[in-house]
Structure 1
Amino acid sequence: MTNHSNFLLSSSSISNDGVVNATGDELGQIEDLMIDPVTGRVDYAVLSFGGFLGIGDKYFAVPFDQLAVDRENKRMVLDVDRERLKQAPGFDKDDWPDFADERFRTTVADFYRA
C-alpha cells in the first residue's frame, strides 16, 4: 500500500476500483467521489456493497482518508471488517444524502473512528 502524498490519481482512475479490507476480503467498488468545491479536497468515496449486478446495492460514504491505495493491484484498501461494514451508515443508490449536512458528516465520522 502507498501513502497518499507520494503521487496523484485521477478521479476516473479511482472510479470503479475494487475495494478490499486489510485481509483481502472484497468490500465492493468505488462509485463516485465527493469533492468539496471550496477546498478542492476529496471528502468521501462512495462505495457500493452487496447486491448482484447493481441490484440491491447499498452505498456508503467512506471518509477518503480511511482509504489506502494498493497501486500494485490497482485497488483501494479500507481497514474495516466486512461484517462491520454492513452496519455502516449507508444509503440507497437512488436516494443520496446531503453530504454537507453536519448530522450526516458526524454520523459517518463517528462510525469510522470507532
Structure 2
Amino acid sequence: MSHQLKFANSPVKASNIIGTPIANPKGESLGDIKEVVIDPNSGRVAYAVVSFGGFLSMGEKLFAIPFSAFEYNLSKNQYILDVSKERLEKAPGFDADHWPSMEDEQWNRDVYDYYDRSPYWE
C-alpha cells in the first residue's frame, strides 16, 4: 500500500495550473491561466500568462502577471487575483501572436513593478 504525502505547498504540474480559473476576492470570474512561464536557470515560475476573457472585454489580449500576485484557493480550485478592475484595464498586455521578449530585463521589471511585486530573480 502506498501513502501519498499531501501538504499545503505540495508541487503541482504546470498542466494542472493551465486552464485554472482566476477570480477577484469578491468571487467574480476574471478569466483563466493560459500558460506558465518558468525561468530555466532558477527553475522558478516567473509568470502566469492570463486571458481576462469577457471580464474586461479585451478580446485575445494576454497578460503576464507575476505568479506571486496570485493566491490559490484550494477549496474552489481557483486563483485569486487581488487587483482592481481599473488597474487590470490599464495593465500592460500583448497579442497572443506577438509575445514580448521575456529576455528583456526592463520589460520584466516593468511588469513586476506594475503589480507591486519584487522580481523573482532578486
Please name the residue that 1:57 is paired with. Answer: 60
Question: Which amino acid in structure 2 is aligned with residue 32 of structure 1?
Answer: E
CA distance in 2, matches of 1:83, 1:67: 18
Q: Counterparts of 1:56-95 in structure 2 under 5 Å?
A: 56-95=59-98
Offset of 1:21 from its aligned partner? 1.3
Q: Give the SS at the match of 2:109.
A: helix
Please name the residue that 1:100 is paired with. Answer: 103
Which contiguous aligned blocks of 4+ residues in structure 1 show a shift greater than 3 angstroms?
none
TM-score, L = length of structure 1: 0.86
Question: Which amino acid in structure 1 is aligned with residue 101 of structure 2?
Answer: D
Q: Identity of counterpart residues, as a percentage?
A: 44
Q: Give the SS at the match of 1:95.
A: coil
CA distance in 1, matches of 2:48, 2:9: 19
Greater relative contact order (Cα 8 A, min sep 6): structure 1 or 2? Answer: 1
Q: Does 1:21 align with 2:30?
A: no
CA distance in 1, matches of 2:54, 2:80: 20
Please name the residue that 2:5 is paired with. Answer: none
Larger Rg: 2
**Residue deviations 1:57-114 (CA, integer Å, cap 9, x gap):** 2110000111111111111111112232111110011110111211211111111018
Q: Unaligned regions of 5+ residues in structure 1, if any?
A: none
CA distance in 1, matches of 2:9, 2:109: 29
What is the Cα-based RMSD across aligned positions, in Å?
1.9
CA distance in 2, matches of 1:99, 1:77: 24
Offset of 1:23 from its aligned partner? 1.6
